[in-house]
Structure 1
Amino acid sequence: MINTAVKQEFGSNPLKVRDTNHYQAEYVHSFVDRWDQLIDWDRRAESEGDFFIRLLQEQGARKVLDVATGTGFHSVQLLKAGFEVTSADGSPVMLGKAFENARKRNHILRTVHADWRWLNRDVHDYYDAVICLGNSFTHLHDEKDRRKALAEFYATLRHDGVLILDQRNYDAILDHQIEPRHNFYYCGDNVRATPEHMDDSLARFRYEFPGDEVFHLNMFPLRKQYMQRLLHEVGFQRVTTYGDFKETYRESEPDYFIHVAEKRYIEGGDEE
């Protein structure tokens, strides 16, 4: 069911909303319509460069499942680069916006409305790569949901496939109270995305747009090592983590971590 609400509803105590299923109520039409102001596609493309395209090419990937399509930015970039892309999202509002954005740029998205926890119920194919970008994985508030989603990603990958998943650097925010700089991911002018509340099980972010419009997202603050451990435990053999598109970084510096998890079996044990 498409959420046509204009305003978000978090109830009388927004800090108690720590439920995976609530994301449907958070991505209301009015928020989704303004999401691209936050991203700024042209500046985002400039800041990322060919990082994800190069990673996928190095892995020999051709067929990609974008499980957190959002408004379609990465799906469109990959289509332009010649990849075969399927675009999935749990929000039908986001999928509609993504399809519209792609059509404006002369691309037709192959879209699937799918909840990650039951991904293979709706996606019936195998892929060289799965991408889950835009800090999307932190919408999963329960560990059982995170494990189930990763298992679904793993299952839809070919035997030598790769998962590329990113997350905010919550460690820096939780431990040092460092405010994100958004040098790469949120490139829009006159918009702000700031942490309004942060504890070990809730990251509540405030999004401010011109005209005094304010929206919020409630997410789970994933720690880097915890995420790496989950990826290994679900079966990925090698996990390489980048910080803001760099292989070498100081732990507190990046806004985002990008995990590249390889399914390819490594004889003799784990490698980093």
Structure 2
Amino acid sequence: MTPNKTVVFQPDERQDYGDDPTAVRESDKYVSEYIRGFVDKWDELIDWKSRAESEGRFFIDVLKARGKHSVLDVAAGTGFHSIQLAKAGFDVTSADGSAEMLAKAFDNGREHGVVLKTVHADWRKLNKDVHGKFDAIICLGNSFTHLFDEHDRRRALAEFYAALKHDGILIIDQRNYDGILDNGFSTKHKYYYCGDQVTAEPVHVDEGLARFEYTFPDGSKHNLNMFPLRKNYVRDLLREAGFQKLHSYGDFMEEGEESDPDFFVHLAEKEYDR
């Protein structure tokens, strides 16, 4: 397919935002955004090989250093981190609110010799669908920003907290929306979205919406509406959810080492300082 060829979508493969796309600010919209055509292209955006090289053993080392074994990946997506951790010896359960993403993750797991334990779950009712307690929960890929309502964010964090053992940890990441809101968008595409043939850029940004457009080599375009969470707001939410110790990284480096990171990674621990 040539880049300038018109792409025709089937009725179930078309994103629908109505007449005013920037007016759509709903937590549940993500389910219909991850249509089959978008999900099938998602790994082109990530580029698994480049992503693995860029982040290295960061999450593996963080979990192993704290003696964690059972991991719940609540935003499994197409399975990149679930599979990386499973291959590293962790006991992984993969959850996602998008059935399309979970199906793709399971297929990706089989291709990598891993049989994923998958659960279709809404974070706001996580413990209804996911049973047991975990050493760690990971919520990666900027996924938490799909929640537009503050009540939904607080409910989700309360569910994460409840699903963790007494000394469990939560690892949650987000785009550097502070930089986007205050200084405009720029990205090094160095760590998260490593596919060099795909562009991911905001087409609208305000304090309540970051609408990103993803353009693929075949000329197709897909969109995601996300809430631009500021870093300190997320840290405050984590504290108010009951997490006792917080540590934030910028593009996998210690805070302050990277002056303008693309992403922040927050490590939140339940356990009190002894």
Bucket of the pairwise TM-score, normalised by the shorter protein: over 0.9
Contact 2:247 2:267 in 1 (8 A): yes
Question: Aligned partners of 2:158 and 2:189: how far apart in 1?
Answer: 30
Alignment partner for residue 184 of structure 1, among 184, 191, 195?
Answer: 191
Q: Alignment identity in percent? A: 60
- What RMSD, in angstroms, separates the aligned Cα atoms of the two structures? 1.1
Give the secondary structure class of the aligned counterpart of 1:166. Answer: strand
After superposition, the C-alpha distances for 1:148-168 in whole angstroms (9 at most, x for unaligned) are 000000000000000000000
After superposition, the C-alpha distances for 1:58-95 in whole angstroms (9 at most, x for unaligned) are 12110000000000000000011000000000000000
Partner of 1:53: 60
State yes or no: 1:200 paired with 2:207.
yes
Aligned 1:79-158 pairs, distance under 5 A? 79-158=86-165
Question: Aligned partners of 1:189 and 1:197: how far apart in 2?
Answer: 22
Gap runs ≥5 in structure 2: 1-10
* Alpha-carbon shift at residue 266 of structure 1 (Å): 3.0
Q: TM-score, normalised by structure 1?
A: 0.95
- 2:130 is matched by which residue type in structure 1? V
Question: Aligned partners of 2:17 and 2:258: how far apart in 1?
Answer: 33
Partner of 2:80: 73
Give the secondary structure class of the aligned counterpart of 1:85. Answer: strand
Partner of 1:241: 248
Partner of 2:216: 209
* Alpha-carbon shift at residue 7 of structure 1 (Å): 1.0
Alignment partner for residue 42 of structure 1, among 11, 32, 49?
Answer: 49
Partner of 1:270: none
Gap runs ≥5 in structure 1: 268-272
After superposition, the C-alpha distances for 1:110-130 in whole angstroms (9 at most, x for unaligned) are 000000000000011100000
Q: TM-score, normalised by structure 2?
A: 0.94
Question: Aligned partners of 2:21 and 2:66: how far apart in 1?
Answer: 42
- 2:131 is matched by which residue type in structure 1? H
After superposition, the C-alpha distances for 1:132-152 in whole angstroms (9 at most, x for unaligned) are 000000000000000000000
Q: Which runs of 4+ in 1 moved over 4 A?
A: none
Question: Aligned partners of 2:257 and 2:210: how far apart in 1?
Answer: 22
Contact 2:210 2:226 in 1 (8 A): yes
